[in-house]
Amino acid sequence: MQPLIPDYLDEVLAAVAPSSSGETASYIPELAAADPERLGAVFATVDGEVYGAGDVDVEFTIQSISKPFAYALALSDRGFAPVLEKVGVEPSGEAFNEISLERDTGRPRNPMINAGAMTTHSLAGAEGMKPAERVERVIRWLSAFAGRDLEVDETVCASEMESAHRNLAIAHMLRSYGILTEDPRGVVDGYIRQCSVLVSARDLAMMAATLANRGINPLSDEQVVDQAVVRQVLSVMATCGMYDAAGDWATQIGIPAKSGVAGGLIGALPGQLGIATFSPRLDSHGNSVRGVSLFERFSSDMGLHVMEVPPAGREVVRSNRVRGEGPDRTRILRLQGGIRFAGAERIVREVLDSALSEPRVVLDVSLVHSIDDVARRMLLEVARRLSLDGHQVVLLDPETIIPEPDPGDGGSLTVVHEPEEALNPGVADRWERSDWGQRLS
Ligand code: GLU
């Protein structure tokens, strides 16, 4: 069989290829000279499979796509509070290089506009780190997301430095409000170097996949960034990632994203994949014209909008039956799928509605493929309450989807791994709060 996804990517690339609208970025002379016909798209799944079509290995400068990653670095190095004190998280609805700061505080509205991005750049590394060391730190950080050593395009960097009047103006304003606390020139230099890091669409897809994969690079398996930071970064990408077109993007395409003026565009779909496209001609917002068209197609063809509502939680209870007679009467609740809060609530209701009178209750999680923390705690609380009500509660968990099933204060829970044991759990492991960590047979 021919693989499906490369064929799909070839097809969508061919569909958008004829479009020649938009212009390459003109305010950075080197970018204006880029080949406008370049076109590529890459999907990188969270388990490390990479599919590409077109110009997937052509290098270009990362530009603003560095912003979410630099934000992640500032959050990791300094912690949330010090960063939030200096950079907000509100969409500005303004162009990326608007010279505007919050009226009362002088704080940039978000880390995706240049004012916020220069501030987050200044917050990378420990306080007092020299600008040159800080840039190195940023480049190494971007490299860890890409899974290879990235380098700076010195020509683009010099070209942007020469025409950096607007960014310098913004940085001086930030300095006057005390948001920047050092020489603004050094911050602008460092920020522009950060923007001049060379990447390919393949690199960008892997960087996005690392965000989609809870901060773990799917190829190197390295935990590059903490999960809490990933959530913050994806949220800001979702609300502010596409310059002043962020609202249109969020409603129509619905993939946390970030674009750059060299024509790159990334999207990170939590738990699924990282996407990157490359096409240098930009629309009036500064977003790649054909990149946006590609994302529109990806989103609608494959139902990738993050607000697409998944099937309701009711399917988590596959069956609810009673087996056996007399003292052997056993209630078996067969659960299935991925269980989160709403699914766990459904299970609680099922238990309440069934007004259980059987001496034994089996919670069968053989067909559950994932259970998040809140659902796990709710399920164990169900087990605890049922055991306090006098039922023998058995957890049938062949794949150990619930590793340490602590039933909590006073509760007791018998864990079995084979279906036959569920009805005869005499010899199985039992977990009790008072003996937490010990197996009683
Ligand atoms: N280095 C560019 C700037 O600050 C990045 C802009 C962008 O990609 O949106 O102007």
Residues 6+ apart with CB under 8 A from 391: 356, 358, 359, 360, 361
Q: Which atom of ligand 1 is nearest to the CA of 114?
A: 4
Q: How far apart are CA 185 and CA 208, in angstroms?
A: 30
Ligand 1 centre distance from Cα of residue 33 (Å): 16
Q: Which atom of ligand 1 is nearest to the CA of 164?
A: 10
Place of tokens 């912003």: 67
Question: If residue 337 lies in a helix (H) or strand (E), which one and from where to where?
Answer: strand 330-339
State the fold for domain 4-302.
Beta-lactamase (3.40.710)
Q: What mean pLDDT is reported for the chain? A: 92
Tell me if 277 sits within 8 A of 295, measured CB to CB. yes
Per-residue pLDDT of 87-122, as tens digits, reads 999 988 777 888 778 888 889 999 999 999 999 999
Q: Give the three-state DSSP class for 298.
A: helix
Homologous superfamily in CATH for domain 317-440? STAS domain (3.30.750.24)
Q: Which atom of ligand 1 is nearest to the CA of 65?
A: 8
Question: If residue 80 lies in a helix (H) or strand (E), which one and from where to where?
Answer: helix 80-86
Q: What is the CA radius of gyration of the chain?
A: 26
64 lines ligand 1 (CB under 6 A): yes
Give percent of the chain above pLDDT 70: 95
pTM assigned to the model: 0.88
pLDDT at position 314 is 58
387 lines ligand 1 (CB under 6 A): no
H helices of 241-365, in order, are: 246-252, 289-302, 341-353
The residue whose CA is least distant from atom 2 of ligand 1 is 63
Active site residues: 64, 67, 191, 243, 261
Q: Which of 26, 62, 64, 174 to mutate to test the pocket of ligand 1 (most atoms within 8 A of CB)?
A: 64
Short-list 387, 294, 375, CA closest to 340 = 375
Short-list 109, 89, 87, CA closest to 98 = 109
286 lines ligand 1 (CB under 6 A): yes
167 lines ligand 1 (CB under 6 A): yes
Short-list 307, 293, 301, CA closest to 259 = 293
63 lines ligand 1 (CB under 6 A): yes
Question: If residue 321 lies in a helix (H) or strand (E), which one and from where to where?
Answer: strand 317-323
Per-residue pLDDT of 114-165, as tens digits, reads 999 999 999 999 999 999 999 999 999 999 999 999 999 999 999 999 989 9
Q: How far apart are CA 59 and CA 260, in angstroms?
A: 13
Enumerate the domain spans of the chain. 4-302, 317-440
Exposure of 65 in the CB half-sphere (CA atoms within 13 A)? 37
